[in-house]
Structure 1
Amino acid sequence: MNNNMVKDLISWSDFEKIDIRTGTILHAEVFEGVRNPAYQLEIAFGELGIRKSSAQLTKRYTPEELIGKQIIAVVNFPPKQIKNFFSECLVLGVPGEDGDVPLLTVDLPVKNGLKIS
């Protein structure tokens, strides 16, 4: 499918099934031994607690740059096992053709765990 084409239309009830929240990255480290370079992240989502994620952000960010960054993530996917690590949420970004992925963030600080609507 051409990336410039709009996918099939969804209903409002389809959209409501996706739980997208704000969170703050607490910890980031290189994910050793994976096929595509990635980081292992720990992200605080307020009352939802801390969740882990694997994210291919190595072209744009160092682990140190990620700490404290407030991000947007989907929190209601089932955990996905990658090697011996379970990714518990999907951090959202904009994948470029060269593998550079700028994160989706908020422009002003907000409370962790707020639902995007």
Structure 2
Amino acid sequence: MSPKTWSISDLAKEFDITPRTLRYYEDHGILSPERVGMQRIYHPRDRTRLKLALRGKRMGFTLSDIRSLIDMYDGPGSTQLQLQQYQNVLDHYRQKLENQLKDLQQTLAEIEVQQQHCTQQLEQRNSN
């Protein structure tokens, strides 16, 4: 392999993922490795797309959003339009995460109240 290409096992090791994950992204059109017989050969474009897909996954993006954002950079278009679309997606996911955080904080507060109630009940029963 030349330094500008990677095998499936090379990329899997580098990104600490399974070869199955790489095939999954290939099946969904995010990666398109060259085929030499049965071997997949990944080029810098594939590596970059994988890196972006994994970042999107960590940020909670859907597969369709990940693909849309990655494909946006392959097609024609102005950088400003691309950045605006990316900003809109980021805003959407930020709001979603903030709502989830608010729900989690509320749930934690409710748990705290219930734990205090249980502690009081246990103390009352132990003192009798």
Q: TM-score range by the shorter chain?
A: under 0.3
Q: Compute the TM-score of the two structures, normalised by the length of structure 2.
A: 0.24
Structure showing the higher helix proportion among its residues: 2
Q: Compute the TM-score of the two structures, normalised by the length of structure 1.
A: 0.26
Which one has a bigger Cα radius of gyration?
Answer: 2
Structure showing the higher strand proportion among its residues: 1
Q: Which has the higher contact order (CA 8 A, sep 6+)?
A: 1
